[in-house]
Copies of this chain bind each other. A is one copy, B any other.
Amino acid sequence: MSFSPLIQQLITALRCLPSVGPKSAQRMAFHLLERDSEGALALSEILQKAVAEVGHCRQCRTLSEHELCEICKSESRDRSILCVLESPVDVLAIEQTGGYNGLYFVLSGHLSPIDGIGPEDLGIDKLLDYIHATEINEIILATNPTVEGEATAHFIAAQVKELGIKVTRIAHGVPVGGELEFVDGGTLAHAMAGRRSLL
């Protein structure tokens, strides 16, 4: 048996959400139609509005419905530090630590020559323009600790080298609260090499 075409279309459309498989999509569709048509209509409306209005911040390129995002607009942020990230979600991750008060620059992912993604595709040219145009003392490269993220960080570091700005990379090491036994070798080697004096 198949569902009536409209229900089937709804199930298919719900599959565009990340990590929603056929079973979850089915459950979602039935839930919305049976129990939460109000929620469904609200979701429909806001989806349309968000897609139409949310764009990228002119300065840091994170997602924002304004030309300049809240962080770039804020008077209380330290404009001498710039943290470079791979995606807008990472901005949130760092903001939630509450320990960083500088500005951000969001790339569109990481370098991936195999997929034909080069520096221009990430907006590294725009990053360099931005660095040239403002007075920054430190650039923190916080791309993901993956091979591609590392490559992207090193590429940017090389480009910025001549400007005499301090360029740092977030630390690799053992995660807080984890057990040494379960940490992979690469991370452990980084943690040993990056050891710090306690006294």
Q: Mark A6-28, 1 if CB is under 8 A from B, else 0.
A: 11011001101111000010111
Q: Mark A71-83, 1 if CB is under 8 A from B, else 0.
A: 1000000000000
Number of copies: 2
Chain B contacts of A10 at CB under 8 A?
Answer: 46-47, 50
Chain B contacts of A69 at CB under 8 A?
Answer: 4
Say whether B7 contacts A65, CB under 8 Å: yes
User: Within the assembled complex, what's the spacing in Å between the Cα atoms of A31 and B54?
Assistant: 13
Say whether B51 contacts A33, CB under 8 Å: yes
Say whether B41 contacts A7, CB under 8 Å: no
Say whether B65 contacts A6, CB under 8 Å: yes
In the complex, chain A residues 67-100 whose Cβ is within 8 Å of any chain B Cβ: 69-71, 87-89, 91-92, 95-96
User: Within the assembled complex, what's the spacing in Å between the Cα atoms of A4 and B95?
Assistant: 14
Chain B contacts of A96 at CB under 8 A?
Answer: 1
A40 contacts B by Cβ under 8 Å: yes
For chain A, the count of residues having a C-beta within 8 Å of the partner chain is: 56
Say whether A16 contacts B43, CB under 8 Å: yes
A64 contacts B by Cβ under 8 Å: yes
User: Within the assembled complex, what's the spacing in Å between the Cα atoms of A7 and B49?
Assistant: 10
Say whether A54 contacts B88, CB under 8 Å: no
Minimum distance in angstroms from A130 CB to a CB of chain B? 20
Q: Interface residues, chain A, CB within 8 Å of chain B?
A: 1-7, 9-10, 13-14, 16-19, 24, 26-34, 36-37, 39-51, 53-54, 63-66, 69-71, 87-89, 91-92, 95-96
Would you give 6 A-B contacts (Cβ < 8 Å), ordered by A? Answer: A7-B50, A16-B32, A17-B43, A30-B87, A34-B63, A41-B47
